[in-house]
Amino acid sequence: MSHLLEVKNLDVKFALRFGDLTALNDISFTLDPNEKLGLVGESGAGKSVTGFSVINLISKPGYIAEGSILFKGKDLTKISPAEMRDIRGNHISMIFQDPMMTLNPVMTIGSQMVETVLAHNNVTKKAAEEIALDRLRKVYIPSPEKRLKQYPHECSGGMRQRIIIAIALLTEPSIIIADEPTTALDVTIQAGIMELLSELCEKENMGLILITHDLSVVSQVTDKIAVMYAGRIIEAGNTDDIIKSPIHPYTIGLIGSLPGGDHAGNRLTQIPGMMPNLTEIPSGCAFNPRCAFADEKCKSTRPVAIPIGNENRLVACHHIDRIK
């Protein structure tokens, strides 16, 4: 069975003066219609680079060195820039962290939405305005006709994020990539935005890639998780399985640092150390300097991700039997 999106053995590098720097190494995952995938990990893990790679928006001097990105069976690493622009505009949309960095402050919401529709569809301006109104209604914007005439600074943070989601829906994409879409919002508004994205995936039969450092958000929204560390996926599987029974020491540490749940009333655990700089990735398992289970094998040999229990659960660790 073919997937909506299938990333296979993806390597991304940055060509620097002292040599190529590996940002992503052997990244593989799939996404189907109405499926929600969470890419999680600390800052610097490679989550955003993975999202940008899917739509070929890696900043120079970054480039895809190896692997394939199959969208509906077509390898996006082998198509022309014009074909990629069509895919990027019409089939895969991205929601960025800060709406104010995405929205043009000197253009009305309506002008920006209509401009986007006209750039990707052969329709009249009147029809484009109707499409814009329809998308604002889909994201539950009150008084959409009024919002079209407003400027971004006239809307609240949560409202601006809903407008960004509405813009992402303008071309009826098959996939939405959401890069930390709730970072600057308070907890109540965060919950509303995530509920909206989940609802839209079901109604529009879209796939969602949610990029975040917040495991609590991922646990409530996604169907499956890929935990990233230093440019690699170190654990992947169904969301419920990973949240309830994490196996990799890094995943255990991330979940142990979450407030509430089984840890209510106890001190939160903290993973010692920091995510390594890409220029100083440790040999062997990149997590070994921060891991309580690390031994000489961890310091010399990089673990390969192996299936655990079923083919949907993968873990890259030398000491799975000791940890489980």
Return the domain boundaries, the chain: 5-91+173-323
End-to-end CA distance of the chain: 32
CATH architecture of residue range(s) 5-91+173-323: 3-Layer(aba) Sandwich (3.40)
Strands 207-212 and 232-238 turn out to be unpaired
**In contact, 162 and 196? CB cutoff 8 Å:** yes
Q: In the structure, what pLDDT confidence band is assigned to residue 208 with cuts at 50, 70 and 90? A: very high
> d(Cα 247, Cα 199) in Å, to the nearest integer?
30
Q: Mean pLDDT across the chain, nearest whole number? A: 91
Q: Residue 26 — φ and ψ, nearest 5°? A: 60, 50
Lowest model confidence (mean pLDDT) among 7-11, 33-37, 194-198: 194-198
Interacting residues of 171 by C-beta distance below 8 A, sequence separation 6+: 89, 90, 91, 93, 116, 117, 120, 121
pLDDT band for position 27 (cuts 50, 70, 90): very high
Q: How far apart are CA 300 and CA 314, in angstroms?
A: 21
pLDDT band at 3 (very low <50, low <70, confident <90, very high): very high
68-93 core/surface letters (b: 16 or more CB in 10 A; e: else):
ebbbeeeebbebeeeebeebbbbbbb
Q: How far is CA 227 from the centre of its chain?
A: 11
In the block, residue with structure tokens 């999106």: 5
Q: Which has more confidence, 190 or 36?
A: 36
The answer, yes or no, to whether residue 25 has pLDDT greater than 80, is yes
* Nearest CA-CA partner of 28 in 79, 58, 66, 78: 66
pLDDT digits (tens, 9 = 90+) for 106-128: 999 999 999 999 998 899 999 99
Residue 235 reports pLDDT greater than 90:
yes
Confidence bin at 250 (pLDDT 50/70/90): very high
Q: 224 vs 237, 242, 257, CA distance in Å?
A: 6, 9, 20
Using omega within 30 degrees of 0 as the cis cutoff, is the peptide bond preceding 259 cis?
no
Query: What mean pLDDT comes out for the span 269-297?
Result: 92
Residue 213 vs residues 132, 233, 251: alpha-carbon distances, Å? 31, 14, 12
Q: How far is CA 234 from CA 9, 248, 286, in A?
A: 14, 7, 10
Gyration radius of the chain's alpha carbons:
21
